[in-house]
């Protein structure tokens, strides 16, 4: 039965996570925006805490299953709600929380028990993008060749989040370039492995607290059983699709990050409006309100829409419904609207929106990445369009 | 617990409404809009579903099934997917019944509710909007002045649905700056129904201007009695309803444009194979969903008996904005053909403009 009232457990979770964000992240948000690449030691507090929560084993996820066909109180919805609050605190810092990398998500999703034993406790980053392979992740050229009991990896990976701070990296490489997408596999490469070098760290527009870097793999040899999933190259692209499925879970998370940042900007604007005695009314005809009031209300409405699309996608994942298109909808909407809201807030804040004394300008810079990483807004639109139009990637390029 | 999927009961009602629309409205909407008329048998078909008697308690002759804003939102979207005017017309009795049921005195309920419980075609309507620049439902110019044992109403109302056939009116007016609703009978000599209005959209719906000139009613016909009614609550119900209707109109435009884009061949391939078109389709798809979720969020709060002032306001302004944007895209995807009245997207475009402007024309 449709019921979009926020349940009490979620309201409580949001409020406690907001306190955490307010107490721990917000106070150092500016500090690590300026001290780019410096490890935010305040985040040691989060070691061992399950923030970007996902069950270590599949069975754990079933613990909340009420088993009577009723909606489940699942981990995906709790996670996106947590992420929104943390990003209200600071998005760059959330991305730097130890042991909560994208690589950890990939390991949690497909690792064998033996791999989970070896790598479960490590901070794992994810390396997909290459200088010549961005949105077209099926075109990667990093190679993995089996030589006896070892894989030999060669190539270059860019835009790796947590590049400096992680303990290991999940690297996408092809075992058979002729096989195209079905030849792409992922490998766990530990820091310190000979031939695995952190080449440099990037200087970015925003999320500067997050260390983004480039790795070079030069005849890097890793154990044979560091491959995630099967080494077999099948004729179809099911394997690649399986890897891409991880994104059905992570895209709502990124969309929730965008929601958190946009809300931070809106809350700040509201605070300033209230200080100036500008009332926010929710009954009168919006057409008679001032431009400032109307813009504010419209952004508030956009924010609600973003959050509801995110929560729906997460709720579907919790209830084991296929959410591929809904995940992309959440990401497409929140990525774009988060960008627009943070821009508009700066505009409406006037000089306060351009000054680095306030965080509004930072939120505008931070938010932009949300419409880019984990699949650009355009890629999300393609996924949605192909889905609703029932067209293949050949029919709709 | 939070839930994003329909219950079995909700699915059944949604499908029933969808079937009625498919059978009666979808293929006839163009003709209905051109002629400015909804055949009575179509309305009867909807009344036969018994949504109004269902929400009236048994003590007043109804089925006492309760009142579900979420269910009503689901139904309204389906009806508006067929035709916006039809959606408003078919749920019209509820627009009168709901405020009486929720905010009327016992005596008002005893007098009025049995009429609607027994005769599903009993026509009551509500006059809220005023035809003037800077109109605001919270700052009504229509006035109610207490005079001994009666109230005297003065003012002009527009977009009063089916006023010509209505027997009962709820007229929104301000008494010393406080908004209230006043029950006025059709026979009252102070109430006159002007000629039918001609509007940009809502062609199928009979809309009238209603004038109140020294319209005197007994004091006990002020809804809610001496204390008056919760006028803000009325707006919460009607704004949520307009949002649901906006979702239906936008979805109709989206689905038509989507299907057209797949079939229309230019440059040797379907126009949908171009991103300039398909990205519009994608945006339409998720904005329709967002509108619906906003509507359901507001309806969920209402259903839980909570204050939905903010939720209903945001759902309404979002629906107003997006209904216009999506129906605009709908015409644009069809290009020149979208401008020709044989295709429905131009009608959706005209109707879409109404979502932001109109207030108080349907209730959930």
| Domain identity same for B171 and B250 | no
B173 close to B144: Cβ distance less than 8 angstroms? yes
Q: Taking every pair of C-alpha atoms in chain A, what is the biggest distance, in angstroms?
A: 75
Q: Is A25 helix (H, G, I), strand (E, B) or coil?
A: helix
A338 close to A367: Cβ distance less than 8 angstroms? yes
| Domain identity same for B131 and B115 | no
At A251, list the tokens: 């895209």
CA distance B308 to B315: 10
**Tens digits of per-residue pLDDT, B159-172?**
999 999 999 999 99
Question: Which of B48, B49, B41 lies closest to B14, judged by CA?
Answer: B49
Show which residues of A are catalytic. Answer: 374
Domain with residue A92: its CATH number is 1.10.540.10
Domain that holds residue B80: 8-121
Q: Report the share of chain A in percent with pLDDT over 70.
A: 93
Domain that holds residue A166: 122-228
B99 close to B234: Cβ distance less than 8 angstroms? yes
Cα angle A63-A67-A73, degrees, rounded to a multiple of 5: 55
Asked whether the whole model's pTM tops 0.90, one would answer yes
**Tens digits of per-residue pLDDT, B96-120?**
999 999 999 999 999 999 999 999 7
Q: Which of A3, A7, A396 sits opposite B273 (nearest CB)?
A: A396
Instruction: Find the helix or strand (DSSP H, E) in which B158 lies.
Output: strand B150-161
A388 vs B: CB within 8 A: yes
The terminus-to-terminus CA distance of chain A in angstroms comes to 38
**Residue A115 falls within a domain, yes or no?**
no
CA distance B171 to B309: 21
| Domain identity same for A219 and A254 | no
Question: Which of B87, B135, B77 lies closest to B255, judged by CA?
Answer: B77
Above 90 in pLDDT, residue B147? Answer: yes
| Domain identity same for A44 and A151 | no
Tokens 């209905």 belong to residue: B32
CA distance A38 to A209: 7
**Is A98 or B340 the better-scoring residue by pLDDT?**
B340
Tokens 């999703």 belong to residue: A109
**Residue A110 falls within a domain, yes or no?**
no
Give me the numbers of helices (H) and strands (E) for chain B, helices first please: 13, 9
What rounded mean pLDDT belongs to chain A? 92
- Chain A residues within an 8 Å CB radius of B321: 298, 301
A329 vs B: CB within 8 A: yes
CA distance A95 to B43: 56
| Domain identity same for A89 and A185 | no
Q: Band the pLDDT of A63: cuts 50, 70, 90.
A: very low
| Domain identity same for B239 and B203 | no
CA distance B169 to A116: 70
CA distance A384 to A307: 18
At A392, list the tokens: 């293949």
| Domain identity same for A377 and A251 | yes
Q: Is B143 helix (H, G, I), strand (E, B) or coil?
A: strand
Disruptive mutation site among B71, B265, B290 for chain A (greatest number of A CBs within 10 Å): B290
Least confident of A45-49, A334-338, B285-289: A45-49
| Domain identity same for A168 and A294 | no
Q: Is B67 helix (H, G, I), strand (E, B) or coil?
A: coil
Residue B132 burial (10 A CB sphere; 0-12, 13-18, 19+): exposed
**Residue B112 falls within a domain, yes or no?**
yes
Per-window interface: B 234-293 vs A, CB < 8 A: 235, 258, 261-262, 270, 272-273, 275, 278-279, 281-283, 285-287, 289-291, 293
Q: What is the ipTM of this complex?
A: 0.96
């Amino acid at each position: 039965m449709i019921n979009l009232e926020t349940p009490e457990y979620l309201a409580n979770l949001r409020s406690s996570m907001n306190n955490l964000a307010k107490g721990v992240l917000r106070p150092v948000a500016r500090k690590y925006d300026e001290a780019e690449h410096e490890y935010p030691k305040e985040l040691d507090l989060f070691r061992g805490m399950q923030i970007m929560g996902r069950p270590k084993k599949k069975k754990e996820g079933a613990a909340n299953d009420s088993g009577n066909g009723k909606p489940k109180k699942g981990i995906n919805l709790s996670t996106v709600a947590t992420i929104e609050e943390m990003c209200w605190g600071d998005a760059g810092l959330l991305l730097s929380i130890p042991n909560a990398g994208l690589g950890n998500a990939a390991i949690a999703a497909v690792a064998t028990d033996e791999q989970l034993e070896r790598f479960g406790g490590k901070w794992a980053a994810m390396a997909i993008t290459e200088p010549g392979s961005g949105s077209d992740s099926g075109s990667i050229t990093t190679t993995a060749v089996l030589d006896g009991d070892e894989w030999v990896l060669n190539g270059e990976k860019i835009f790796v989040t947590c590049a400096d701070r992680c303990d290991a990296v999940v690297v996408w490489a092809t075992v058979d370039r002729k096989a195209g997408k079905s030849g792409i596999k992922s490998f766990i490469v530990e820091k310190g492995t000979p031939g695995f070098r952190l080449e440099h760290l990037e200087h970015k527009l925003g999320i500067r607290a997050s260390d983004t870097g480039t790795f070079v793999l030069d005849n890097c040899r890793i154990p044979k059983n560091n491959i995630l999933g099967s080494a077999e190259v099948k004729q179809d692209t099911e394997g690649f699709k399986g890897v891409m499925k991880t994104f059905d879970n992570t895209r709502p998370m990124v969309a929730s990050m965008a929601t958190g940042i946009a809300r931070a900007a809106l809350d700040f604007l509201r605070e300033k409006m209230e200080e100036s005695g500008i009332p926010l009314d929710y009954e009168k005809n919006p057409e008679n309100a001032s431009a400032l009031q109307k813009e504010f209300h419209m952004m508030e409405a956009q924010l609600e829409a973003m959050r509801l699309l995110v929560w729906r996608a997460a709720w579907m994942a919790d209830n084991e419904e296929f959410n591929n298109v809904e995940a992309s909808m959440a990401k497409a909407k929140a990525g774009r609207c988060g960008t627009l809201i943070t821009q508009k807030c700066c505009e409406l804040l006037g000089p306060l929106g351009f000054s680095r004394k306030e965080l509004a300008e930072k939120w505008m810079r931070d938010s932009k990445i949300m419409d880019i990483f984990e699949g650009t807004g355009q890629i999300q639109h393609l996924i949605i369009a192909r889905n609703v139009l029932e067209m293949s990637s050949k029919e709709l390029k | 617990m939070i839930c994003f999927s329909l219950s079995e009961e909700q699915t059944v009602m949604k499908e029933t409404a969808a079937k009625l629309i498919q059978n009666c409205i979808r293929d006839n909407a163009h003709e209905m809009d051109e002629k400015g008329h909804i055949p009575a048998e179509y309305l009867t078909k909807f009344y036969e579903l018994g949504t109004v008697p269902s929400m009236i308690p048994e003590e007043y002759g109804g089925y006492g099934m309760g009142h579900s804003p979420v269910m009503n939102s689901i139904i309204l979207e389906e009806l508006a997917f067929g035709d916006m005017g039809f959606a408003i017309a078919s749920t019209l009795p509820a627009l009168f019944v709901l405020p009486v049921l929720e905010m009327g005195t016992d005596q008002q309920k005893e007098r009025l509710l049995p009429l609607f419980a027994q005769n599903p075609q009993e026509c009551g309507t509500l006059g809220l909007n005023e035809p003037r620049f800077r109109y605001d439902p919270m700052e009504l110019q229509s006035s109610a002045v207490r005079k001994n044992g009666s109230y005297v109403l003065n003012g002009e109302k527009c977009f009063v649905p089916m006023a010509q056939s209505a027997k009962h009116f709820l007229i929104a007016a301000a008494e010393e700056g406080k908004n209230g609703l006043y029950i006025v009978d059709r026979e009252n000599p102070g109430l006159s129904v002007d000629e039918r209005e001609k509007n940009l959209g809502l062609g199928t719906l009979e809309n009238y201007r209603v004038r109140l000139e020294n319209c005197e009613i007994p004091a006990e016909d002020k809804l809610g009695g001496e204390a008056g009614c919760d006028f803000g609550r009325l707006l919460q119900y009607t704004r949520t309803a307009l949002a649901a209707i906006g979702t239906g109109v936008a979805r109709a435009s989206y689905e038509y444009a989507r299907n057209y884009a797949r079939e229309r061949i230019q440059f040797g391939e379907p126009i949908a194979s171009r991103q300039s078109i398909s990205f519009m389709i994608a945006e339409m798809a998720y904005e329709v969903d967002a509108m619906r979720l906003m509507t359901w969020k507001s309806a969920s709060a209402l259903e839980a008996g909570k204050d939905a002032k903010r939720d209903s306001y945001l759902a309404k302004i979002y629906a107003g904005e997006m209904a216009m944007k999506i129906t605009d895209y709908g015409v644009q995807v069809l290009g020149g053909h979208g401008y020709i009245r044989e295709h429905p997207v131009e009608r959706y475009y005209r109707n879409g403009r109404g979502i932001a402007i109109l207030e108080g024309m349907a209730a959930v």
